[in-house]
Structure 1
């Protein structure tokens, strides 16, 4: 059994079950799995100086998170193809979970953002790297988010955040450590299943994940 994070209120157990399913499917395909958590923020509303109206910077429609996922997968495929020219690269299926939430501290307008979990083959990707390099996972995430929003890379970097201790490893070949690391990961990402700060009143989905 595993401990859950109830520090932010009740959880949506349908979401939680799906999160755990995605984690376990990743380990079933990739016995050494790399799990990475990060946040994607939407641009702030900017005042239109000509018309005196508020205008959203970037493409922030409901499909923005799908564009991000598709773009990140494309970046990973291209990176693997490039690296494969010079050395053997392990196959890698990217699985993901995302939730859409708002910042409750903003009383004027809901500041929407996404919490994202991706799972990859650790033999292919073992570290996120940093945003300022062009050949690592962190830079691919920034590029994909900027592309999804239709903004430049500088804006994409400012709207992407890696939290403290953003990644962990799951190795099913080491059963004792695997169970402990899985338990810790489930505790941490159970935060994503909290009911608070989610809303579908505007027609946007609040949860999405890999289906296979």
Structure 2
């Protein structure tokens, strides 16, 4: 996150949950209801599809070059269901993308529509029929470079929300259960403000969280 803010002074952060579909009917377990491409590479295909859509939108607007890269953090969990699900944070340059847009239609040309299409493309399913597999929790974040201190309420709340990703309950410890985008290279960066006095408080809360999960 700090690396992203060093490159972009304003960041739009989106919380997203990605689910796999129920592939058989509860009443008729021998009757498949769909045939998704539900393998471990689904999350990789999701990011590739989203990147492709952003590039197409960039060119449609007549802009040169390539769009600003987006960042991400994801964790994979599994409870009693047959398939895991993903919790994500997506990071965008706010000067390019600042809003999710309407949830009303599956083919909307906004960030909601692109994310839905990307996940359904990864699973090879129809967005109009399976858009509910993508869930957008409340409270997205608009962060600035000035916010990047634990003394800032908004940034502090954002970091606590990310920290919750790393609770041990329902994590798939035997598989790759976490990833994040790589640092953005070859771009001019600026130094951020040093962490404020709440660093100790955040550390204490994280320790309590992990102790409860142990």
TM-score w.r.t. length of structure 2: 0.74
Alignment check: 8 A CA contact 2:2 2:148 kept: no
Partner residue, 1:39? 17
1:129 aligns with 2:101: yes
1:92 aligns with 2:68: yes
Gaps spanning 5+ residues in structure 1: where? 1-22
CA distance in 2, matches of 1:181, 1:79: 30
Partner residue, 1:114? 86
1:139 aligns with 2:145: no
1:196 aligns with 2:174: no
Shift of 1:91: 4.7
Higher RCO (CA-CA < 8 Å; seq separation 6+): 1
CA distance in 2, matches of 1:164, 1:181: 14
CA distance in 1, matches of 2:37, 2:22: 12
How do 1:66-81 and structure 2 match up within 5 A? 66-81=44-59
1:211 aligns with 2:182: yes
Question: Alignment length, in residue pairs?
Answer: 181
Aligned-pair Cα RMSD in Å: 3.0
Shift of 1:209: 1.1
Higher share in strand: 1
Secondary structure at the aligned position of 1:125 is classed as: coil
Shift of 1:179: 3.2
Partner residue, 1:20? none
CA distance in 1, matches of 2:145, 2:151: 6
Question: Structure 1 residues 89-98 or 128-137, which shifts more?
Answer: 89-98
Alignment check: 8 A CA contact 1:90 1:124 kept: no
Partner residue, 2:188? none
Gaps spanning 5+ residues in structure 2: where? 184-214
1:148 aligns with 2:133: no
Q: Alpha carbons of 1:184 and 1:79: their partners in 2 closer, same or farther (altered >3 Å)?
A: same
